[in-house]
A and B are shown apart, each in its own frame.
Chain A
Amino acid sequence: MANYFNDNEDIRFLFDHIDLRELARLQEDDFTRDRDGGYAPDDPDDAVDSYRRVLEIVGQIAGDMIAPNAEQIDREGNTLNPDGTVSLHPLVQQNLDRLSQADLMGFTLPRKYGGLNCPSLVYTMATEMVSRADASLMNLFGLQGIAETIYAFADDELKDAVLPRFAYGEVTGAMVLTEPDAGSDLQAVRLRAYQDEAGNWKLNGVKRFITNGCGEILLVLARSEADISDGRGLSLFYTERSEKVRVRHLEEKLGIHGSPTCEMVFDDVPATLVGERQRGLITYVMALMNGARVGIAAQSLGIAEAACRLARTYAHTRQQFGGPIERLPAVAELVTDMRLDVEAGRALAYETARVCDHENNNLRILEWGENLSPEEKKDRKKYSRELKRINGMLTPMAKYYCSEMCIRVADNAIQVLGGSGYMKDYAAERFLRDSRITTIYEGTSQLQVVAAEKGVTSGVFANWVEPHEEKQYDDPELAEMRDRLVEARERIQEATQFAKGLGGAYVQLYGRKLVDSAIAVMISHLFLGQAEKNERKKVVARRFLHRELPVVRMNCEVVCSGDAAPFEQYALLAGPVPAAD
C-alpha cells in the first residue's frame, strides 16, 4: 500500500508552500463562471481540497498499481504487428485503463469536455508521481498537451468531437513532428500536405521517433506550402489512426521500453488543418513543446526521486566495515547530494509550472474574456509579454536542469549500490537507462541552454531575481545567505558582459556555464523562500549555497578566461576525423 503523494514530504510541503488558492482563482475565473459538468468547485479552498484529493488518487495508483508493473514492462516492451499496428504491452494497457478509470486523462482540460480543469502545476506533480512509478508511462500519461493544443488552437467542431474522448480515456495521442532529417531542426520537416480537387488535405511522407505514434489521435507537422522551405511553410494537421498510417518500425531503445517509439509512413492520409496555415511550427508546435518540456522536467523528477529513495534505503541497510555504509562520509555526500538535487529540481520545475499557469490563464482571458475594458486589455497584454519572457527562460531552464540532474542522480544511485546497482536485480540500472533520454527529447540540453542563455544575457534573469533580492528576511542567517546571492548575481552579470564583448559565438560557447550559474542562484532564492517556513529547508538552503556558490565563481572565471579554443581551434583540439573502417 504505497501512496506516492502521501509518502512524499517535499511534494506535500510545496503543495502547501506554493499559493495554490491563487492558481485556483485564476483557473476558475474567480469562481464566477457557470458550473460546467456539475463538479465545479465552490471556492478556492474547495478547489485546492480537490487538487489534493486528486493527487492522492494519482499517488495511490502510481504506488499500488503502476510501480509493481514497471519491471516486467521494461523487460518485455510493446509489440509491432505485421499489419503495421502496435499492441501495447498488456500491463501498459492496464496502467492506462486504471488512469482512465480514475478520470485522470483530461487533467487540465475544461470541465465542459469532461476534464478536471486542474492547473498545470498540479498536473506536473501528478506527472512526477507517475514517472516515479514507471518513467515510460509518463510518455503516455504526459501526452495530454496534445489535447491542450487542440483546445487552444482548433475550431469548436474539432474540440467538441475529440476532447471528450481524451478526457474519458478512450483515446491517446501523438505529436508527430520528427523526421529522419528534421530532429532538433524542425524547420526542415518534409512530410507533404496537399489539397485535392475538393480541397481536402492529404498527408504523404515519413516520420521517425514518434512517441506513441500508434495512438488514435495524431497531430502532424507537415509542409503545406511547397514553395516555402523554412518553418513558415509548415502547418499542423489533425488525423486519426487508420490503415493509411502504417507503423513500419518500432525502435529498440536504451530505456523507457514501455513507451512505443514509432517510425510511421503516411500514404495519402486524409487530415484536417488545425488553426491557420503556416502557423504550425512557429505558433502551435512551439506552444506544445513548451508544455511538453515542463512535462519532461516532471518525468526527470520522478526518475530521480525513485533513484534517490533506492539509494537512501540501500545506504541505510547495507553493512560494510561494521556498519551501514551511509556512515562513510563519501557515501553520505553522495546520498545527500542526490536528495538536494531532487529538491532543487523540484523547486525550479514547480515554480516554472506555476508561472506557466499564470501565462496560460492570462492568455485565455485575453482571448476569450468578454467585457474586458480597453485598459484591462492593455494591462493584460503587457503582463502577457512579461510572462512570456520569463517563461521563455524558466521552461528551458527547468527542462535542462531537471533532466541533467536526473541522469546524475540515477548514475549516483548505481554508485551507492555498487556492484548490486550494476546488476538487473535492482531497479537502479533501469532508472539510469530511463533517465538517459530526458536530456535529448523535447529539445536537447544544448538547445535548452541556447533558449535559457538568451534570458540570462538579456536581463530577464536579473528581473526575475530582483524581487527575491529585495525580500526582507526576519532570520539573520537567511538574510546573510541572500546577500551572498546578490554578490553571485553581480558576478554572473560581469561574466555575461565580458562574454558579450567577445561576440555571439563566444556567448554560446559559455552559455551553459552562464545558465548553470544563473540556475544555481535562482534555486537558492527559491530555497530561501521555503526555508522561511521550514527548519529543514534552512539546512537544505545552507548546504546548497555551500556547494553551489563556489561553482558559480569557477564558472564565471572560466567564462572570463577569453578562451575560445573549442571553436577557434576546433580541428586541432578535436583531432583528425577518424578514417572510415
Chain B
Amino acid sequence: MAYDSIVLIKQVPDTANVTAEAMKEDGTVNRGALPAIFNPEDLHALEAALEVKERFGGTVTAVTMGPPKAGDVLRDCLFRGADRAILLTDRRAAGSDTLATSYILSQAVKTIGRYDFVFAGRQAIDGDTAQVGPQCAEKLGIPQITYLEKVVRLEGDTVRIRRNIGHGWEVVEAKLPVLATVVETANVPRPKAARRLMRTKHARATVEIELAVRNEMPDADDATRQAEVKRRAEALRQRGLLIEQWGLDEIGADPTRCGLAGSPTKVHRIQAIVLKKEGHSQVPATEEGVRGMIYELVVDRTLG
C-alpha cells in the first residue's frame, strides 16, 4: 500500500552560526546578516517522509510558507526527492504567529486534499516554540504524534511510532491520517541527489520569476514585465518546473485569521542583553578557591 505524505518546512535564519552582526543596535534580528537555511529538524521530517515513500511507495509534497526566498528550501526538497513543492506566499500572511501560521498551513493541507501523513520538524530554530505542528493537527482534526524517532510499523491504515520523550521512549499507535513532528535522532537526512538537482534546479515559483524580471528589466513598463513573467512561467510549466504558488485565496483562508490581524501573540518588550566583561578575577586552584567561586555564582544567581 502506498502512502502520501505532506511535509511542512520552514526557512529560518541560521541561528547556529551567529556572528557579531546578528543583532541590530535596537536588539532585533538582523536577517540580512544571517544566512537563511533549511530548518534543521524539518530536514529530518522530509527524510521521514522520503523513507516512507521508499519503503511503501506514494508521494511526498513539500509545503512552505514564507517570502519568495523560501523557494530555496523547496528546491532543496526537490533535490532530495520530493515529488511536488508548494510555496504559500501572501503579504497578508506576514507577521503571523503560531496560531495564524498553523491556520494557514492547515488550510493548505486541506486544499491538497488526500494525504496519509503530515510530517513537520519538532520545532524551528528561530522561534523554538514547537507549537505549529501540534496546532495544525488540532485544526485538521487528526491525531498528532510529537517527537517521532522511528516509524516502527506501518500496515493498512495504522501506524506505530516510537516517540523520544527525553529520558526514554514510548511506542504509540494511531489511525491514519496522522501528523507527526520529527526529532533529529530519527534519521540522517539524505544528501541532495545530483541528477535531481540538475533536473530541477531551474524550478521557480511565479513570485520568484517576478522578482528576477524586476531586477533584470528595471526600465521596462509593467505590461512588458508582466508579459515576460508570463512567458517564463509558461516555459517552466512546460518543463514541469513551475513551483506551485498559493495565496490566502487559493487555500480559502479567512484573512482576519492570518498575519498580524490573526495573531494574538503580542511582543511585550524586547530586551537587549549585552554581556560585558568587567575585568577578571583569578580563582586559586584550591578547595577553598573553588568554594568561594561557587558561593559567588550562587549569590549572583548564575547557579542554582
Contacts and interface: CB of A to CB of B under 8 A. Distances in A.
Interface of A: 37-41, 49-50, 53-54, 57, 60-61, 65, 98, 101-104, 114, 116
Contacts, number: 48
A102 B199 contact: no
Given A57-B191, A65-B191, A98-B191, A103 B201 contact: no
Nearest to A115: B195
B197 A53 contact: yes
B198 A41 contact: yes
A41 B201 CA distance: 10
A103 B195 contact: yes
30 contacts: A37-B195, A39-B198, A41-B198, A50-B194, A50-B197, A50-B198, A53-B192, A53-B197, A57-B191, A57-B192, A57-B193, A57-B194, A57-B197, A61-B191, A65-B188, A65-B191, A98-B191, A101-B190, A101-B193, A102-B190, A102-B192, A102-B193, A102-B194, A103-B194, A103-B195, A103-B196, A104-B194, A116-B194, A116-B195, A116-B198
A114 B201 CA distance: 17
B191 A53 contact: no
Contacts of B191: 57, 60-61, 65, 98, 101-102
B36 to A, nearest CB: 16
Interface in B197-219: 197-199, 201
B242 to A, nearest CB: 15
A103 B190 CA distance: 11
A103 B192 CA distance: 9
Contact of A39 (B188, B192, B195): B195
A114 B198 CA distance: 12
Given A39-B199, A53-B197, A65-B191, 20 more contacts: A37-B199, A38-B199, A39-B195, A49-B201, A50-B197, A50-B198, A53-B201, A54-B194, A54-B197, A57-B191, A57-B192, A60-B191, A101-B190, A101-B193, A102-B191, A102-B192, A102-B193, A103-B196, A104-B194, A114-B195
Interface string B287-304: 000000000000000000
Contacts of A50: 194, 197-198, 201
Classify the secondary structure of A's interface with B: helix
Nearest to B190: A101
A502 B188 CA distance: 64
Nearest to B81: A101
B112 to A, nearest CB: 25
A102 B197 CA distance: 10
Nearest to B193: A103
Contacts of B194: 50, 53-54, 57, 102-104, 116
Nearest to B197: A53
Contacts of B196: 39, 103
Nearest to B16: A1
Contacts of A57: 191-194, 197
Interface of B: 188, 190-199, 201
A103 B196 CA distance: 8
A428 B223 CA distance: 65
Contacts of A102: 190-194
B292 to A, nearest CB: 29
B43 to A, nearest CB: 12
A93 to B, nearest CB: 14
B38 to A, nearest CB: 12
A96 to B, nearest CB: 13
Contacts of A49: 201
Contacts of B192: 53, 57, 102
B212 to A, nearest CB: 15
The 3 A-B pairs with the shortest beta carbon distances in the complex, nearest first, are: A39-B198, A39-B199, A103-B194
Contacts of B193: 57, 101-103
Contacts of B201: 49-50, 53
A65 B194 CA distance: 17
A151 to B, nearest CB: 17
Which of A37, A57, A60 neighbours the largest number of chain B CB atoms within 10 Å of its CB?
A57
Nearest to B198: A39
Contacts of A37: 195, 199
A458 B196 CA distance: 48
A18 B195 CA distance: 24
Contacts of B190: 98, 101-102
A157 to B, nearest CB: 24
A98 B191 CA distance: 7
Which of B192, B196, B199 neighbours the largest number of chain A CB atoms within 10 Å of its CB?
B192
Nearest to A104: B194
A516 to B, nearest CB: 39
A427 B195 CA distance: 34
A551 B5 CA distance: 66
B114 to A, nearest CB: 27
A39 B239 CA distance: 11
Contacts of A101: 190-191, 193
A468 B161 CA distance: 66
A57 B193 CA distance: 8
A484 to B, nearest CB: 44
Nearest to A114: B195
Contacts of B188: 65
Contacts of B199: 37-39
A37 B199 CA distance: 9
A61 B199 CA distance: 20
A288 B193 CA distance: 27
Nearest to B191: A102
B14 to A, nearest CB: 10
B222 to A, nearest CB: 28
A50 B194 CA distance: 8
A531 B192 CA distance: 35
Nearest to A41: B198
Contacts of A41: 198
A102 to B, nearest CB: 4
Contacts of A39: 195-196, 198-199
A420 B17 CA distance: 32
A53 B193 CA distance: 10
Which of B190, B198, B199 neighbours the largest number of chain A CB atoms within 10 Å of its CB?
B198
Contacts of A60: 191
A570 to B, nearest CB: 54
B109 to A, nearest CB: 28
Which of A41, A98, A101 neighbours the largest number of chain B CB atoms within 10 Å of its CB?
A101
A237 to B, nearest CB: 31
Contacts of A61: 191
Contacts of A104: 194
A78 to B, nearest CB: 22
A39 B199 CA distance: 4
A38 B238 CA distance: 12
B157 to A, nearest CB: 29
A48 to B, nearest CB: 12
A575 to B, nearest CB: 57
